[in-house]
Structure 1
Amino acid sequence: MPLRYFLTGLLGLPLLVTGYLWWTLLSPFGYSPPQELAPIAAGEHRVFVYGTLRYAPLRWLVYGRSGDPEPANLPGYRREGLDIRRDDEASVEGLLLRVDAGELARLDRYERLGIRYERVELPLMDGRLAWVYRRID
């Protein structure tokens, strides 16, 4: 009997993970952007990431490629869990991604823009502006 439960769990876990990833990243049911969000402009966008999106396999799952990120630093903030908080004495290390409008829309979906996170444009240490996701209070 215990072997049957083990095998069921062993087979069920990949299905559960696959279902979660489909629901979160691809399904039309998992996320509907709020109506008040501005449309995404065409062209290249710079996005500063400091959490899970620093990992290439996750970027590939979220927007279809790992990209060619470069190290970046966000001054005037400190990382606090899954968010950043204003702190003039600190800075946050992360990566700068270059994405197109479709990829930015997929990042917005992953971050649940307008529901869990907001996307704001902030200056990086080198002066370039980049989109940064911040938790909504």
Structure 2
Amino acid sequence: MNVLILTVACITLLALVAHVFAGTKETATIAPASQDEDLTANWVQAMCAFQMLTVDLLVVAVALFAVAFSDLGQLERPIVLSLSLLFFLWGLVWVIQLKFLNRRAAGLLRLPHWMVWFLCSGLLYLGS
């Protein structure tokens, strides 16, 4: 069993739970008035896109637990490195998006999700 991979699997599982419960509740609070059809359509689209990440987190968590508790032989390293790249890209896109949107109320330290993704990327890289 690879402890670094197991650690990232647990972090991902925690992120999944937080995303589903706290994230959904928080995102639901910004629902526009139902009579504003354009904003409602945009919000529903954002909620649907938000929940697409739920599927990603679930698949990644399951894959990480599978890798952590099994011996995949020569396939293990490419799988782990691919997941490390995925986490790195998640972090990179998060930082780029924050910088592009450039809102003082939502800076790098206020929305530090990118730190978790870069940490997970590094741990997986070291664990490969």
Instruction: Tell me the TM-score normalized by structure 1.
Output: 0.27
Whichever structure has more strand as a proportion of its residues is: 1
Task: Work out which structure has the larger RCO, using CA pairs closer than 8 Å and 6 or more positions apart in sequence.
Answer: 2
Whichever structure has more helix as a proportion of its residues is: 2
